[in-house]
């Protein structure tokens, strides 16, 4: 089976790196996490098409950080409760300063 063509991602997602030198295989987890953190619907579709749902599922379950407003999306994509995600577990361990 032939590998799909590289995803056509918005370069703004990778503002802090040399986008042209990005290795899509070596840095797959980084790319998946960054797209889900900062990308739009089209970027997410491109990543799912390129990597496949299983690789995306594993990367998202093991992501150390994801903004709270993305947790519902993660649950719906992976079909697991947020308590199964490393980003949620980490957020419970390191809650930061108290709000007063």
Q: 35-66: per-residue pLDDT in tens?
A: 999 999 999 999 999 999 999 999 999 999 99
Which two tokens mark 43? 């970027």
**Class of residue 72 by CB neighbours under 10 A (exposed 0-12, middle 13-18, buried 19+):** exposed
* 46 Cβ contact list (under 8 Å, min separation 6): 7, 8, 9, 35
Exposure b/e, 48-58, CB count within 10 A at least 16 = b: bebbeeeebbe
pLDDT band at 98 (very low <50, low <70, confident <90, very high): low
């Amino acid at each position: 089976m032939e590998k799909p063509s590289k995803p056509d991602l918005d370069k703004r997602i990778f503002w802090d790196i040399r986008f042209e030198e990005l290795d899509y295989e070596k840095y797959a987890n980084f790319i998946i996490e960054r797209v889900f953190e900062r990308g739009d619907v089209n970027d997410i579709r491109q990543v799912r098409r390129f990597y496949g749902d299983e690789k995306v599922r594993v990367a998202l379950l093991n992501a150390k950080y994801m903004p709270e407003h993305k947790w519902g999306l993660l649950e719906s994509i992976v079909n697991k409760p947020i308590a199964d995600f490393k980003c949620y577990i980490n957020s419970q361990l390191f809650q930061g300063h108290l709000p007063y």
